[in-house]
């Protein structure tokens, strides 16, 4: 039995590269998951790939930078699973900026 067996974990940025790999790993280890992303459509194939029963996974569209939306997915997680034991706070974007010439 894994230490994640029946643990309820929230993963943000779940539709992205790192989020979906982590979701698969935790699902394989028996966790129940709330998958959060700005882009709900992109979460749907992730949910499908996990092959979890409906009572083991919840997909929520939210912007993690908005406090009321964070509260909403926490509330939805507690409502569905009755508990919440871990967060993988992964949502975000890399800060891409133009290279600057610092030679002068
Ligand atoms: N991939 C890397 O090499 C690398 C390196 C260092 C840090 N990181 C960080 O790790 C995290 C995940 O990286 P990744 O490669 O999976 O990125 P990704 O772009 O593949 O996925 C990020 C996901 O986060 C979602 N997202 C962005 N802003 C959001 C918001 N405000 N609310 C909810 N969801 C939001 C996007 O819709 C996307 O699905 C990012 O924060 C990234 O900055 C990645």
Domain ranges of the chain: 8-88
Please tell me the CATH code under which domain 8-88 is placed: 3.40.50.720
- From the list 66, 73, 82, the residue with the least C-alpha distance to 35 is 73
- Calculate how far, in angstroms, residue 44's C-alpha sits from the geometric centre of ligand 1: 17
Ligand 1 atom nearest 92 alpha carbon:
41
Confidence of residue 92 (pLDDT cuts 50, 70, 90): confident
Average pLDDT of span 11-25: 97
Confidence of residue 103 (pLDDT cuts 50, 70, 90): confident
**CB of 43 shorter than 6 A to ligand 1:** no
């Amino acid at each position: 039995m894994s230490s994640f067996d029946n643990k309820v974990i929230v993963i943000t940025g779940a539709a992205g590269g790192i989020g979906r790999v982590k979701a698969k790993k935790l699902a394989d280890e028996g966790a129940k998951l709330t998958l959060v992303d700005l882009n709900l459509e992109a979460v749907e194939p992730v949910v499908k790939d996990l092959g979890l029963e409906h009572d083991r996974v919840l997909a929520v569209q939210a912007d993690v930078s908005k406090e009321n939306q964070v509260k909403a997915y926490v509330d939805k997680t507690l409502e569905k699973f009755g508990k919440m034991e871990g967060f993988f706070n992964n949502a975000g974007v890399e800060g891409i900026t133009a290279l600057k010439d610092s030679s002068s």
